[in-house]
Amino acid sequence: MRYWRWARRLVEMLSQVPDPRKPGRKRHEIGAVLAVTVFAAPAGAGNFREAGDRAADLPQGLLALAGCRRDPVTGRYVAPSEPTIRRIAHDIDANAADEQVCRWLREQVAATAIAEDRDHADPDGHGVIGVAMDGKTIRNTLGPSGPEGGEVKLFSAMLHREAVVIAQLRVPDGTNEITQVAALLKDIDLTDVVVTGDAAHAQHSTAVHLTTERGGAYALTVKGNQPTLLTQIAAVLPPAVPGTEDHVEVDKSNGKIVRRSIWVAPADGVDFPGAAQVFCIRRDTFDHLGNHLSKEVVHGVTSLTAQQATPEIIARLIRRHWGIGRVAGAHCC
């Protein structure tokens, strides 16, 4: 019963997406077409043809819940056809559809995933929720401006622990994801939330927005695109020498051995809004025999204090951040 209630709520939200069709040419309401398209995906649909096939096989109860039309002769609910699904997917306002889907996802996780996603940072149980933000270019697509605009670029926000995208938008042509942080996070309550981002987001404006304007926190990696900041971070950290780490973890999955080490220091003298701690993460990869294969060193800065986040928690936040690369753009239209 709970799952039917969730599905009914999704249909309600998708019905609010603007319909690109002329009123006289509709056999199915927009909410029904979009809902059936969504229902077809977990049934195995990976393209429009398969979406049409899976839609036709959906149970009558699910088609009725989606609001599909009823055949006056047979009395059975009829799923939208593959051409209808394809046409709607091409013509729909993708940002509007994504906004409704993300709203629905946020509702579902609000009482469960978010509450369980708190990384307890101190004995009192205070913690933060990790939300990753990252951009992704969708291959073999064209933006609103056609070939001149290039491929579609999506900017997404994902809950770390649940790997659920809770906000997503299309990056306008002629700009980049750095300018879209406020727009992406506008509907997300950042109280007790730490937003993670890659080196592109190590921007003063982003840090001010997340902390001063929204009351949240950040944990950002820093690379050569911010040479002054990177130099300041390196200056207050000890050398990344094995045996002196603040925290170490070893992963022996996937046929390799990965040793992740982190060094953390107060952000004294670091000129970055809200900076409280800086960190250095070293990843050493070995084969199953122990032969060293590679080394990677990443620096970063966070507004989380030592009381809010231990080295272990900072390492966990950065590790979980990279999960967004596997799910960003997963439910774009």
The per-residue pLDDT for 242 is 85
CA 62 vs CA 5, 68, 81, 158: distances in Å: 11, 9, 16, 28
Long-range contacts of 78-82 (CB under 8 A, 24+ apart): 79/36, 79/55, 80/27, 80/28, 80/32, 80/33, 80/36, 80/55, 81/52, 82/48, 82/49, 82/51, 82/52, 82/53, 82/55
Residue carrying structure tokens 């309600």: 12
The per-residue pLDDT for 240 is 86
Phi, psi for residue 32 in degrees, rounded to 5: -65, -45
The per-residue pLDDT for 64 is 92
The per-residue pLDDT for 123 is 37
Report which of 309, 270, 301, 326 is spatially closest to residue 198, judged by C-alpha positions: 301
- pLDDT (tens, 9 = 90+) of the chain, 333 residues, equals 556 777 888 888 898 899 888 877 788 899 999 999 988 888 888 888 999 999 999 999 989 998 999 999 999 999 999 999 999 988 888 888 878 887 777 777 664 544 454 444 343 334 578 999 998 887 655 555 544 556 788 899 998 988 888 888 889 988 999 999 999 999 888 988 999 999 999 999 999 999 999 999 999 999 999 999 999 999 999 988 889 999 999 998 878 999 999 999 999 999 999 999 999 999 999 998 889 999 999 999 999 999 999 999 999 999 999 887 666 544 443
The per-residue pLDDT for 289 is 87
Residue 154 near residue 144 (C-beta atoms within 8 A): no
**Alpha-carbon gap, residue 164 to 176, rounded angstroms:** 23
Strand-pairing partners, residue 196, are: 132, 219
Report which of 96, 86, 76 is spatially closest to residue 33, judged by C-alpha positions: 86
> What does CATH list as the number for 95-327?
3.90.350
The per-residue pLDDT for 267 is 97
The per-residue pLDDT for 324 is 75
Report which of 6, 177, 181, 15 is spatially closest to residue 92, judged by C-alpha positions: 15
Residue carrying structure tokens 């199915």: 28
The per-residue pLDDT for 130 is 93
- The greatest distance separating any two alpha carbons of the chain, rounded to the nearest whole angstrom, comes to 78
261 sits in which H/E element? strand 257-266
The per-residue pLDDT for 302 is 98
**Alpha-carbon gap, residue 31 to 218, rounded angstroms:** 37
Domain parsing of the chain, residue ranges: 2-92, 95-327
Report which of 164, 103, 196, 151 is spatially closest to residue 327, judged by C-alpha positions: 164
Cα radius of gyration rounded to whole Å, the chain: 23
Percent of the chain, pLDDT > 90? 51
DSSP 8-class letter at 19: P
User: Three-state DSSP class for 157?
Assistant: strand
The per-residue pLDDT for 119 is 44
Name the pTM for this structure.
0.71
